[in-house]
Every structure is written in structure tokens, then in C-alpha cells.
Amino acid sequence: MNFKLKERNTTWVHISILVIAVLVVYGKVFGAGFMSWDDIDYIFNTPDIRNFNGTSFKNWWTEYYIGNYQPLPVLTYALDFLMGGEEPFIYHLTNILWHIATTLMLYFTMRRLHSDVYIALFVTLLFALHPVQTESVSWVAARNKVMNGFFFLAAIYIYLGYLKDQSSKKLALVCLLGLAAYLCKLTAVTLPFALVGVDIWMNRPLKSKTVWIEKLPLIALAIPIGLITLQAQEQVDFLNLHPEFNFLHTIVFAGYAYVQYLVNLFVPYKLSVLYPYPTEIGIVHVLYTIIAVAIVVWGGVAYRKKQFVLAGGILFYTVNIAIVLQFVQFGEVLMADRYLYLACIGVWYPVVYYLHQLFTQKQGNRQLSIAVLTVICLLYSISTFSRNNIWLNELNFWQSVVDKFPNSSVAQSSLGGVYIRDGKMEEAEPYIDEAVKIDKSNYKAWHNKAVLLLRKGDTKGALEALDKALAVQEYHKALFTRALVYQQIGKCDLAMIDVEKVLDKEPDNARAHYIKADCTEQRDALNLALESYNLAIQYDYQEPLFYLRRGLVLAKTGDPTAALKDLDQALVLKPQYAEALYWRAMVKYRNKQNPCADLQAAYQNAVQQKQMQLANVSQKALSEICTPKSN
């Protein structure tokens, strides 16, 4: 067998191993659902994903989604919705396929980087199968990480080809792939600096001006994307959520996170989807910060000693993790496993290289090296397979965080929120109470407390909790909920103040437009009410309530034909909609059409749905309108 054929066969064997391994360790995720932690906001509450048209296409490139500018991932969500609607399987399948694509791209990149095929294989296996990757792969809302990873590594792959022939076309392609990575996730703006790590791996002279000049186009492309994303984060109040921390806290916590990420890679014992901010600086934080500085210095010493694999690895890890070390505070937590998605490559390459070198220094120990690395990969794979249990349902998900961090107000509130959503108020209450006890400034916990009280019928208590939430942060969900409460108790003036604030931040919030429409209708401004109902339907065309209410306004304005059309559509979307049946009957009756079939159906459905007031009204109308009068 000639060398090329043998190499081709080896490549196909390795590809098969990688693909099968990923499918096995992530197999159970195909049966997982959505998480309320961003998944619902993306899939259910984003009209631009649910409408695949020209307007949506424009919005993908010009709008922010949950504090991010990520047009390419949003495009893939829209494609998923087009193919599978609200079926979670298709979304998880897409995530896993992107992870497989990124895994294979890393394998081919490592093959270009290093001649030993086993080093390429095991670096890629550690990347693909380590349990820290479950957050990026198993969480639908983290798709931007696996997509960013693919384009990021594709740029490095082409860059390695560029280093061989200095082709300007390849350098241009590197910039194009880099831009695609930027359009998936802001963290990709580390690419030009990660390429310096690749230069070190390839033993390029860093004193050469060319090494730095060729990165300038990527840096120039990164600047506007970075500014856009910072604006997106600021728009949803994701920035500066911890004003109580000063500069010293920022530096020490960053140093701590830098090392803790490495600990999580080597000993993935206490992984979590959330790592809360420490409440104060402790000895471990100072110690880890010192270690972080030592590691960076070690990288410089390794470079001077021409230990290029180690030096390049430290630089690659450092630049990719530095951007998420909260130097600019965003989000509510200090760390997240998904931030290791690409950064870990800077760790695994030196680890595999030096382990392989250690075992192969003596003749005949190559097999021992392969055996040791195989065992390590198997152990991580088992851990990943087990860790994917938390993604099967939200109760597992948040319970795992509470178990690891019981003093996390965020975790306690979120677990309580799962119980609220499932209608288990008694189970929810202790977690919500514990959340506000731990952190009285947790406005999301106060919002959940308000929701809990509303479900229990305590409107006054709910409003007090919402006031406490909004005293801390003008949280759009709390504003919306308070507007809804005010609307329901007839305080439309107050409801309008809150709902206008919601619409300032979320102009596509269909429910907010509905509240505004209802309050406007109560003021008898019917034409203005129609405008708001139109917007509610524009942003959520599958909500039957919106068509019902617009139909009633149309009937009031003297347009029964349009009114009946809307009531018909409400019943298409919800065939057993007793209220729509009743009002369609009334509109028909007033326009000399036979309403009796609709009244009969309204009565029967109202009884079945235990809407006794509507059932009584329908029965009375049946008696008065449809019962033959005796002479």
C-alpha cells in the first residue's frame, strides 16, 4: 500500500472515530427540550426567527437579539423553524452537526499544524468530548459558540496554507472567514491575536513586520463588530451589573477565573452552567491571580527557550479567555463553560504534544502514549455523556446549579421559576424566598416572586414585589408584568406608562402592543386601538386573542365583514375558542345572519372548559335568539 493511500485511509478512520464519538456522547441530547434560559426567547419570542421573509432577513443583520449581534446564528434558527417549527429535535440536531463540523475542522487544522496524525487525533478528541463543551453543544441558545468555532478554525486552516505560499487570495479568505466568525459571536475578535499563537507554533519570527501587518485587516473588521456588540449588551442592561466591585476586584477575579478555567479542564469535577461572582476577595482568589501571572510569564520564558508548542499554547489560551474575564463586566456570572470552547485548544495541543513526546522518547512506547491518551478521552467522554443529563429538562438543569452553589440567588430564583412555570407553587416558594433572602438586589428574583404571588391571587403583594424589582433595575419583564397587572385591575393610565417603556426597548413585543391596544380601547380611542392591535398581530400572527380583540373593535367601528374575518381567523388558530364563537354569533346576529350554530358551540365549549359565566351568557342568548317563540 503506497503512502498516500495509507494516509487517506488513516484520515477516514479518524474522521469516523470523531463523528461516531460525538454522536455517542451527545446522543441523549436529541431527546432534550428547550431551556427557558434564552432558548424560549430565541425560538418562541423572536418573530424574526418565526417569519422567514424579506423583513426578517433585513432584521437579522440590523437588530440585536438578547443582547447580542449575531446574524448568522439567527439565520440558522430561522431555517430550523422553517423545517421543524417548535420541535426541539431539529435545533439540537443543528447544534450537534455544527459541533461535528468544528471538530473536523480542528482535526484538519491540526494535521496542517503538526505532522503526527495521532497528535491531531487526540487534540481533537479532547476538544470534542470534554464535558466543558456540553454547554456550547447541548444548549440551543449557545449555537453562536459552535458556529463561531467552525469559522474561527477554518480561518486558521486557511492561514496555515497561506504561510506556505504567501497567497494574497488565501489571506483575503482568512479575513472573510474571520468576518463570518465575528458575525456569530463577539468573542471571535480574538482571532488576529490567536493567529500570533499559530505563528509561534510555526516558529515564525515575531520581529518581522509582515507578521503584524497581515493581521491588521482582521483587527479593522473586529473594531466595528465589537462596538456594535457592546451597544447591544448595553441596550439590554447586560453591562456593569456589579457596580459594587472596584478595579482591584476586577483584576483579582479575572486572575482567579483564568486559573479556575484550567482547573475545570483538567479536573472537571464541579462543572456548572453558572459560576456566581464571589462576594469578596479571598485567599484563593489572590493565589490564583498570582498563578495566572506566573503562567503568562512562563509563556514568555518558553518562547525565549524556543519551546514553541508551549509558548503558542499559552498565548492561544490567554487571548481567547481574556475577552471573557469580565474586565468589562457583562452578564450576571463570573464564568461560563462555553467560554472554553475554543480556548481549550491552546491547552490540549501542548498537553498531547508533551505527553506523546514523553512516552515516545523510549523506543516502543508509542502504543503506551496512545493507550494513555485513549483512557483520558474515554474518561472525559463518560463524564460528558453523564453531564448531558442536565440538558434533558429544566428541573435537572437548575437543580444541578443549586446543588453546587446553594448560595447563588440566581440559581435559587431560576429553579423556583421552573416550578412556577409547571404550576407547582408550593415547591417554588422556598426557592424564590431564598433567592431574595440571599440577594435583595436580585431584581429577577423579585420578578419571580411577583409572578408567584399573582398565581396565588395576591395582586397587592405582586405589585409590591414588582416595585422592588424595578427600584433596583428597570427590568423589561418586570415592567411588562406590572403593566399587565395594571391593565387587569383597570389602572390603564399606569399600565400605559410601563408598556411604553417596554416598547421603547422591545418594539416587537406583541403582548406589549396588545396591552396598549386594550388600554387605548378602554379610552374609546378605537382607531388608535386598531393600530396597536395591528402591530400585535404583525409581531405574533399566531395568537388567536389578538384577532378576537381586533375583530371586536372592527365591529364597533362599523366594519362587520372585517370583524367576521378576524373572528374566523381566531377560530382557525383555536377551533374550540368559546369566546370567539360567542362574539362571532353576536356579530352575525346584528348583521342579520344566523348565529345559532355558533352560540350552541360557544355554550358547549364554555361548559367543557369550565367558563361558566360565558356558558350562562351563551345559554341565555340561545334561549332569546334561537328558541322558537310560542304564540
User: What are the extents of the domains in the chain?
Assistant: 3-391, 395-564, 565-631
pLDDT at residue 199 in the model: 95
Beta carbons of 21 and 27 less than 8 angstroms apart: no
Which of 112, 156, 151, 107 lies closest to 127 in space, CA to CA? Answer: 107
Cα separation, 541 vs 558, whole angstroms: 23
Q: How far is it, in rounded angstroms, from Cα 25 to Cα 21? A: 6
- Reduced to 3 states (helix: H, G, I; strand: E, B; else coil), residue 629 is coil
Q: What is the mean pLDDT of each run of 10 residues along the chain (631 residues)?
A: 68 93 95 80 73 76 74 89 88 96 97 90 96 93 93 96 91 94 88 95 91 91 77 53 67 92 92 82 92 96 94 96 75 82 96 87 72 93 93 86 86 88 87 90 90 89 92 88 90 91 88 92 90 91 92 91 92 92 91 89 89 89 78 47
DSSP letters along 535-548, please?
A: HHHHH-TT-HHHHH
Reference 68, options 235, 200, 202, 207; nearest CA is 235
CA atoms of 40 and 46, how far apart (whole Å): 9
Closest by CA to 447, choosing from 473, 427, 425, is 473
> What is the pTM for the complete model shown?
0.79
CB-based burial label for 414 (10 Å; 0-12, 13-18, 19+): buried
Residue 609 contacts residue 578 (beta carbons within 8 Å): yes
Task: Give the separation between CA 472 and CA 244, rounded to whole angstroms.
Answer: 13
Instruction: Say if CB 626 and CB 596 are below 8 A apart.
Output: yes
Read off the C-alpha cell for 500: 411604553
Q: For the structural domain made of 395-564, what CATH number should be given?
A: 1.25.40.10
State how far the Cα of 90 lies from the Cα of 93, in Å rounded to an integer.
Answer: 5
For CA atoms 52, 32, 149, 117, give the dihedral sign: negative
Looking at residue 40, its pLDDT comes to: 77
User: For 407-507, where are the alpha helices, taking DSSP H only?
Assistant: 409-421, 425-438, 443-455, 459-472, 476-488, 492-505
From CA 19, how far away is CA 99, in angstroms rounded? 10
Taking the alpha carbons of 315, 319, 321, 325 in that order, is the dihedral positive or negative? positive
Per DSSP, the chain holds a count of helices (H) and strands (E) of 33, 2
What is the C-alpha separation between 50 and 37, in angstroms, rounded?
A: 19
For residue 436 the three cell numbers come to 431574595
Instruction: For the chain, give percent helix, strand, coil, nearest 5.
Output: 75, 0, 20
Residue 358, helix vs strand vs coil: helix
Other C-beta atoms closer than 10 Å to the C-beta of 280 total 8
Alpha-carbon distances, residue 241 vs 332, 401, 440, 443 (angstroms): 7, 20, 14, 11
pLDDT, tens only, 371-384: 889 999 999 999 99
Which pLDDT does position 631 carry in this prediction? Answer: 47
- Tell me 301's DSSP state: H
At 180 the pLDDT is 94
Query: What pLDDT is attached to residue 35?
Result: 83
* Backbone region of residue 326 per phi and psi (left: phi > 0; alpha: psi in -120 to 50; beta: other values): left
Do residues 352 and 126 make contact, with C-beta atoms less than 8 angstroms apart?
yes
Cα–Cα–Cα angle for 308, 311, 313, rounded to 5 degrees: 100
Which residue from 216, 211, 217 is spatially nearest to 196, judged by alpha carbons? 211
Assigned C-alpha cell, 401: 446549579
Q: What is the CA radius of gyration of the chain?
A: 29
pLDDT of 191-215, one tens digit each?
A: 999 999 999 999 999 988 888 999 9
CA 359 – CA 198 distance, rounded (Å): 25
Say what the alpha-carbon torsion angle 555, 558, 559, 565 is, to the nearest 10 degrees. 10
> Could you tell me if residue 237 is left (phi over 0), alpha (psi between -120 and 50 degrees) or otherwise beta?
left
> Cα angle vertex 269, ends 265, 274, to 5°?
80
Gap between the Cα atoms of 141 and 400, Å rounded? 19
